[in-house]
Amino acid sequence: MSMIYLSLLVAVPSALVVPGAPTAPQTASASTSTPAAPVEPLTTDSTIDAIASTPAGKAVLDKDLPGLTEHPMYEAIKTMTLKQVQPLSNGMITDEALVQVDADLKKLKR
């Protein structure tokens, strides 16, 4: 068998296995923990929701961009980054504000 075909077989979820067909033995137990992926630092390239989801991140937004998390359009923009929202902000999110947000976010421990 080719490697591509083998990797496709391995990727098939067990729910898709045909009843009565032989299955591969389970080698890992459910209690096996995998190391957590490293947490990326929050920046102005993070989504607004990711920043606001932590109390410290929300505090940075409230300090540096007052009213952003209460803005009527928050639900529409929360999956965007501050850099993506900046051109839509009619000058309310300045380059200086983004620099300040980045500096304040760097001070946070994640």
Q: pTM of this prediction? A: 0.64
The three-state secondary structure class of 64 is helix
In sequence order, what DSSP letters do the residues of 5-36 get, joined into one string?
HHHHHHHS-GGGSPTTS--PPP-S-TTPPPPP
Tally: H helices and E strands in the chain = 6, 0
pLDDT tens for 28-71 read 555 556 665 556 899 999 999 999 999 999 999 999 999 999 99
CA-wise closest residue to 67 among 52, 87, 83: 52
The three-state secondary structure class of 63 is helix
